[in-house]
Amino acid sequence: MENKAKIDPKRFGILKAYQKGETIPDITAKFRHISRATIYRWIKEFKKGRVCRKTRKPTEEKKACYKTAMDLYGHRTDAPEIEQRTTI
């Protein structure tokens, strides 16, 4: 079974620059549209061996809960009542 997880192109560019030996300040200057904290987090995850984030599809229960909440919201139901009716 092959791994179908895809890496974000922005993250890939940052990690590639890090692997080439660029310093983190140089990388943050090069990728100004991404916060320094995010770059440090991505590099930290990379060092731990986690390059791609796995995304999970919502369960059927969560989908039903979301649909119920949206239906109640559409009927002008107030927030506390929506919370009460949609608690999983």
Helix, strand, or coil (residue 2): coil
Query: pLDDT by residue (tens digit) across 54-70?
Result: 556 667 777 777 777 77
The model's confidence at residue 3, banded by pLDDT at 50, 70 and 90, is very low
Nearest alpha carbon to residue 24 among 54, 46, 7? 46
Report the pLDDT averaged over residues 25-54. 85
Residue 22 exposed, middle or buried by CB count within 10 Å (0-12, 13-18, 19+): middle
3-state secondary structure of 74: helix
Average pLDDT, integer, range 32-38: 90
